[in-house]
Amino acid sequence: MPLDNSFTGQKFKVIGTRPLRPDGIDKVTGRAKYGADASAPGQLVGLILRSPHAHARIKKIDTSKAAKLPGVKAVLTSADLPDLTAGDRNMYDMLENCMARGKALYDGHAVAAVAAIDMPTAKKALKLIKIDYEILPHVTDVDEAMKSSAPVVHNNIFTEGVEPTPKKSSNVSKRSEFGHGDVEAGFKDADFIVEKSYKTEQTHQGYIEPHACLANVGPDGQGELWVTTQGHFVFRNQCAQLLGMDIAKLRVTSSEIGGGFGGKTHVWMEPVALALSRKANRPVKIVMTREEVFRASGPTSSTSIDVKIGAKKDGTITAASATLRYQNGAFPGPWAELGAMTAYACYDLTNVKTVSYEVIVNRPKVAAYRAPSAPMAAFAVESTMDEVAKKIGMDRVDLRIKNAAKQGTKSSYGPTYGPIGIGATLEAVKNHPHMKAPLGKNQGRGMACGFWFNFGGQTCTDINIGVDGTVTLTVGTVDVGGSRASLSLIAAEELGVPYEQVKCNIADTGTLGHNDMTDGSRGTFSSGMATVLSARNAIKVLRERAAMMWEIPADDVVWEDGQARATGDSHGNLAPLSVKEIAAAAANTGGPIAGHNEIVADGAGVSFASHICDVEIDPETGSTRVIRYTVIQDAGKAIHPSYVEGQFQGGAAQGIGWALNEEYIYGKDGRLQNPGFLDYRIPVCSDLPFIDTMILEIPNPNHPYGVRGVGETSIVPPLAAIGNAVSSAVGIRMTHVPMSPPRILKAIEGAHKAH
């Protein structure tokens, strides 16, 4: 498969090296300050009272006793949060999610809050709040919620995307459709057709740091918020809008973030903390407990998916379709739609159609989780692909190679691809020693592909040159896993200075223009692009200043290896000027030297990965051990390869946990039964093998260095890769994630009985 190599020829000086991260010492000595690590003079403890019911009308809230308790400085209910959202449904949902308005919509939904002088007082105050609930019928399962007999969560939701719009409200907020060609005709052309249905359970991002913030608002409407977030500028805008504050008067500082994975892209208790602070006129700190994180932040969807793929004897896929039902929690979201867009993105298909349904249930509002919605769709499609290969009698990798999307392919979700890496990852799989290694008894091997769009978005960076020639790089994207290092590398590369001469800071919202979240794998892509452009602007200034110092035209000055050089014969004897020399003279040549850039970083290159994994099953207990795992992914260009590998490994580990053990378990009462790390089982160190990685570099032509986002794609293939491995080990197609021991044992026993 020919690749566009126009960027591969680039020679880099520091890009692709592995220097130590600049925030390393802070993070190994305990000095780094995370969300819960800040405090302010006179700060109060904020606590939130949460609904114990899955669905209940709030008939009355009596906060009078709590308010009278000595030491209580503010009590808050939705009555204190007037609707200022002016018809914006998303913002209204956010407001209602922060504090129930009339109805509690899920177990854990906030219903009231207090701020008190200390934790014991705050806890006591919560107990004094009396709420009169009328318990309503609830629904937590995605398929159940779609039935006409299901309790309706919102009576003002009428399915969008259906003609004519239904007159009756339901739990289906939207139907969407993607694809091209004629799938019915395609299935008629097929020699083989495989149809399967799948279910995946709800999982949580499982970041180790619970949500935490410290809010401080005065009666003059000026405020500050210290918060663990993936996007402090977005949090600022949302909090300001919800609370009727001026955006400029709310300064939000992002703390170090103890993991987010999409889960910290949404406000939960931050507006509540600000509102409490405003009411008490004192700083208020709220730190969620782990139980609150599970019950009341934003896990990903549980799903139910039907897949149908038809193929010719030679492996050509003639048609592919899927119906995807994604649970959105208690509010409408775009999650099924994302699943429908990504489902067949790896393949070059003539006839393809996906239909999605957004389903509302009595569970917490779904938030993004690393390549949101793609892993479940990939599980369904990639499991079916293996079944198709089996039915045809074709090698599963060859089947995928034959149908792989390439440059020029019209994707199943619409756009036509530029240079992409799916083919290259599949060829790498085919030739990888892992694929050829022998397997033992009760062992099985699986492989699967995954896709993620990646995202660019609004970005803004500053470069300021100090009088000593050192470089301050100021960015607005939160560093979730080492981006300070990669962005410093980019600034160093562009300016031609050593990495150590650059210091990267994450700006607060008062210091820099708006930046979108660190999400969509955009941190290094978009802030990297803005850093390149800022540096180029700074270089322009440096050249001009050197020209002034030399008293020659700026056009006669070039920038090479971190120095200004005079070109042409007329100024041949001038010694080059370093950044330091130019900076030292800045006061006399026009003042501070800086470069700025504000962009919408378009052109995030799509990303593909293929994973291989080996598992061993204990046939008597259904227990699965992952014994070998390989991630192959296109990074476009790896700026700091260690942190690229880290993203590959981390995503794979999360996917392995999802595939095998992680799930939200709801009781018949609609309450979450496992809101803790004891029974919500994320992988521990002894559960995993080393995770081998292979970084492919198929440059993204839209980025100056060819960078593609790398953060998310790695979580897409594991569910299917493990599903395929388990199915190959036990000889039974697993269709329900997680493939927990009871489910695997049941499948094995069922197969025995059938024989």
Partner 1 sequence: MRYEAPATTKEAATLMAKEKGAAYVLAGGTDLLVRMKGGFIEPDLVVDIKRIKAMKDIKKLATGFQIGAAVSGAELGENAAVRKAWPGVVEATNLIGSKQVQGRCTMVGNLCNASPAADSVPAMIAAAAKAVIVGPKGKRTVPVEQIPVSPGKTSLKKGEIIESIILPKRPPKSGDAYLRFIPRTEMDIAVVSAGVSLTLDSKGAVKDARVALGAIAPTVVLVPAAAKAIIGSKLDDSAMEKLAAACSAACRPIDDKRGTIEFRTKVAGVLARRAAKIAFERAGGK
Partner 2 sequence: MSGVLVSTTINGDSVEFFCQPDESLLDVLRNRLSLTGSKEGCGTGDCGACSVTVDDRLVCSCLVLGVEAEGREIGTIEGMADGDKLHPLQQKFIEHAALQCGICTPGFLIAAKALLEKNASPSEEEIRFGLAGNLCRCTGYDKIVRAVQDAAKEMRGA
Q: Which residues bind partner 2 (CB under 8 A)?
A: 18, 20-21, 23-25, 27-34, 36-37, 39, 120, 205-210, 256-261, 287, 289-290, 480-482, 642-643, 645-646, 649-650, 652-654, 676-678, 682-686, 688, 690-691
Distance between CA atoms of residues 659 and 736, nearest Å: 9
Residue whose CB is less far from partner 2, 259 or 619: 259
Q: Are 46 and 276 in contact (CB under 8 A)?
A: yes
φ/ψ of residue 650, rounded to 5: -65, -40
Residue 18 binds which of partner 1, partner 2, none (CB < 5-8 A, kind-dependent): partner 2
E strand spans, 591-690:
593-600, 607-618, 623-634
**Binding partner of residue 107 among partner 2, partner 1, none, CB cut-off 5 to 8 Å per kind:** none
Instruction: Name which of 332 and 655 has its Cβ closer to partner 1.
Output: 655
Beta carbon nearer to partner 1, 118 or 679: 679
Stretch that binds partner 1, among 168-176, 329-337, 555-563, 657-665 (CB under 8 A): 657-665
- Of the candidate spans 11-19, 636-644, 669-677, 710-718, the one that interacts with partner 1 by CB under 8 A turns out to be 669-677
Q: How far is the CB of 258 from partner 2 (least distance, A)?
A: 3
Which run of H or E residues covers position 356?
strand 352-359
* Binder of residue 66, out of partner 2, partner 1, none (CB less than 5 to 8 A by kind): none
CB 527 within 8 A of CB 477: yes
Q: Which stretch binds partner 1 (CB under 8 A): 232-240, 501-509, 633-641, 734-742?
A: 734-742
Contacts to partner 1 from residues 276-305, by CB under 8 A: 291
Spell out the alpha helix ranges (H) of 190-289.
Answer: 232-243, 270-280
First vs last Cα of the chain: how many Å apart? 45
* Partner whose binding site includes residue 390, from partner 1, partner 2, none (CB under 5 to 8 Å by kind): none
**Least CB distance to partner 1 at residue 201 (A):** 12
The span from the CA of 668 to the CA of 368, in Å, is 26
The site partner of 140 among partner 2, partner 1, none (C-beta below 5 to 8 Å per kind) is none
C-alpha to C-alpha distances, 81 to 37, 272, 444, nearest whole angstrom:
28, 9, 55
Q: From residue 585, how far is each of 202, 549, 559 by CA, in Å? A: 60, 8, 17
Per partner kind, with CB cut-offs from 5 to 8 A, the member of partner 2, partner 1, none near residue 405 is none
Tell me the window of 28-36, 368-376, 658-666, 693-701 that interacts with partner 1 (CB under 8 A): 658-666
Q: At closest approach, how far in Å is the CB of 681 from partner 1?
A: 5
Inter-CA distances, 207 with 260, 358, 662, 740, Å: 6, 26, 14, 22
Binding partner selected for residue 31 from partner 2, partner 1, none, CB under the kind-specific 5 to 8 Å limit = partner 2
Q: Which is nearer to partner 2, 102 or 676 (CB)?
A: 676
Tell whether residue 620 is a contact of partner 1 (CB under 8 A): yes
Residues 6+ apart with CB under 8 A from 87: none
Q: Which is nearer to partner 2, 476 or 718 (CB)?
A: 718
Contacts to partner 1 from residues 671-700, by CB under 8 A: 673-674, 677-679, 681, 683-684, 686-687
In 3-state terms, what secondary structure has residue 60? Answer: strand
Collect all residues with Cβ–Cβ distance below 8 Å to 346 and sequence separation of at least 6.
Answer: 400, 404, 405, 422, 449, 450, 451, 608
Question: Which CB sits closer to partner 2, 402 or 637?
Answer: 637
**700 vs 706: CA distance, rounded Å:** 4
Three-state DSSP class for residue 700: coil
Select the binding partner of residue 24 from partner 2, partner 1, none (C-beta < 5 to 8 A, by kind). partner 2
User: Which token pair is 113?
Assistant: 């809050």
Q: Which is nearer to partner 1, 69 or 126 (CB)?
A: 126
Residue appearing with tokens 């009341």? 296
Site string for partner 1, 122-141 (x = CB under 8 A): -x------------------
Tokens of 538: 């700074």
Cβ distance to partner 1 smaller for residue 2 or 30: 30
Q: Which residues ranging from 64 to 123 are in contact with partner 1 (CB under 8 A)?
A: 123
Question: Residue 360, Cα to own-chain centre: how many angstroms?
Answer: 21
CA–CA dist 113, 129 (Å, integer): 9
What is the H or E stretch that residue 225 is in? strand 223-227
Nearer residue to partner 1 within complex by CB, 260 or 657: 657
From CA 262, how far away is CA 574, in angstroms rounded?
A: 53
Interaction site with partner 1 (CB under 8 A): 123, 291, 620-623, 625, 660-661, 665, 673-674, 677-679, 681, 683-684, 686-687, 740-742, 745-746, 749
